[in-house]
């Protein structure tokens, strides 16, 4: 088992993580994943996040969206922004699987809601074509349905799994990562959890340590190479704080601070998206007991800090837990391989006097 960030002594930020150090530390949140490895070329998968185990179409949760660079195909984004709510789970796939995933989410939702005539399926993506035969479109509707139906509230598998099976980050194997933060009672006592699909680049920082430069792999190293910068990242943030969609959009934006702390380049070809939602029963739509008051603006800052910290650590976990993946390019027949980051090299870098 490859280590997580905390196994290496990394402690990004100031707040403590939850018991699982995962998005599922937010009560009610479920995560399901299906990994598709077939033949020599298919290296992809599905990751699904369900805000609660009930009927989300009937009990919608407030949500907000933040976009830094919109180079992506995020289905359902405009209605999410317009109404400030989720009526479907969030599903992550690869770029050319968005259409099939939307159909599967619609089927899944219609089967549970015979009166529904419209479904806003929220499906995000990153392009895993560097390792995956993306044109073969290996993800099926059944894969999406399995991820949705198999979602659980326990530990979340990380690294080269689900929608992170074929992704690449900072020149190394990327993947799925997750983390959480607990606020002390004096600051509300809420939990903030993050899940990322890392497939982007820059100059990797690990809790402020320039590991990418130390290991000689970073964006613009030769002043011409863009290979380790372009890509995309999807971030999902969950909290049990009673937030409005407006403050959830503000919370989602702080995810970008977490990405920046990892050394993200936010390049022209990178799609950088974050969706935040609240699981608090009082802000569900419709809520059984009526909507509770929105958490006040002047008390949002600790939540902002927690979101940035959780996203930063989730990215580090996605890299550290990822394993080396190989495939073969169907067009050229050439072998493709992206190495997982060398754990011993990371340990050595963190021990260096110039690591700070």
Q: Mapping DSSP to helix (H, G, I), strand (E, B) and coil, where does residue 51 land?
A: coil
Please tell me what DSSP assigns to residue 16: B
Q: How far is CA 118 from CA 70, 115, 162, in A?
A: 25, 9, 27
- Tokens (6 digits) for 336: 């493709």
Q: Where are the alpha helices (DSSP H) in the chain?
A: 77-83, 98-112, 141-149, 211-214, 245-261, 301-321, 343-351
In the residue annotation, 272 being an active-site residue is answered as: yes
Q: How far is CA 269 from CA 146, 228, 341, in A?
A: 31, 11, 23
Q: Looking at the chain, how many residues does it have?
A: 356
Using alpha carbons only, how large is the chain's radius of gyration in Å? Answer: 19
| Active-site entry in 232, 267, 318, 327 | 232
In the residue annotation, 301 being an active-site residue is answered as: no
Please tell me what DSSP assigns to residue 264: B
Q: Mapping DSSP to helix (H, G, I), strand (E, B) and coil, where does residue 31 land?
A: strand
Report which secondary-structure segment, H or E, holds 341: none
- Tokens (6 digits) for 174: 């990327």
Neighbours of 134 (CB within 10 A): 21
- Tokens (6 digits) for 158: 């990380």
| Active-site entry in 270, 278, 318, 327 | 270
Q: Mapping DSSP to helix (H, G, I), strand (E, B) and coil, where does residue 265 land?
A: coil
Cβ pair 199, 239 in contact under 8 A: no
| Active-site entry in 272, 278, 318, 327 | 272
Angle of helix 301-321 relative to helix 245-261, nearest 10 degrees? Answer: 50
Sign of CA dihedral 259, 28, 62, 19: negative
Backbone phi, then psi, for 134, in 5-degree steps? -65, -30
In the residue annotation, 318 being an active-site residue is answered as: no
- Tokens (6 digits) for 135: 């044109």
**Residues with catalytic roles:** 232, 270, 272
């Amino acid at each position: 088992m490859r280590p997580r960030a905390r196994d290496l002594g990394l402690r990004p930020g100031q707040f403590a993580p939850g018991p699982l150090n995962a998005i599922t530390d937010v009560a009610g949140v479920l995560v399901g994943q299906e990994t598709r490895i077939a033949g020599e070329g298919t290296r992809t998968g599905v990751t699904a996040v369900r805000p609660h185990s009930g009927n989300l179409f009937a009990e919608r949760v407030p949500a907000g969206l933040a976009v830094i660079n919109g180079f992506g195909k995020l289905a359902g984004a405009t209605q999410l922004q317009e109404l400030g709510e989720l009526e479907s789970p969030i599903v992550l796939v690869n770029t050319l699987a968005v259409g099939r995933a939307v159909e599967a989410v619609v089927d899944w939702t219609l089967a549970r809601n015979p009166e529904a005539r419209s479904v806003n399926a929220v499906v995000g993506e990153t392009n895993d074509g560097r390792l995956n035969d993306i044109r073969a479109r290996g993800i099926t509707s059944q894969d999406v349905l399995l991820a949705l139906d198999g979602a659980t509230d326990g530990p979340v598998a990380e690294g080269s799994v689900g929608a992170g099976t074929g992704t690449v980050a900072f020149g190394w194997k990327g993947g799925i990562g997750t983390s959480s933060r607990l606020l002390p009672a004096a600051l509300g006592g809420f939990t903030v959890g993050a899940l990322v699909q890392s497939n982007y680049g820059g100059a990797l920082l690990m809790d402020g340590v320039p590991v990418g430069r130390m290991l000689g792999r970073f964006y613009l190293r030769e002043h011409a190479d863009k290979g380790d910068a372009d890509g995309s990242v999807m971030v999902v943030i969950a909290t049990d704080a009673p937030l409005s969609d407006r403050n959830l959009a503000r919370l989602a934006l702080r995810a970008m601070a977490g990405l920046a702390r990892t050394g993200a380049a936010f390049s022209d070809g990178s799609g950088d998206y974050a969706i935040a939602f609240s699981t608090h029963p009082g802000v569900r739509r419709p809520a059984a007991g009526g909507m509770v008051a929105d958490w006040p603006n002047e008390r949002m800052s600790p939540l902002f800090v927690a979101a940035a910290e959780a996203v930063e650590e989730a990215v580090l976990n996605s890299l550290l837990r990822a394993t080396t993946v190989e495939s073969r390019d169907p067009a050229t027949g050439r072998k493709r391989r992206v190495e997982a980051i060398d754990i011993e090299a990371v340990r050595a870098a963190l021990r260096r006097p110039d690591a700070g």
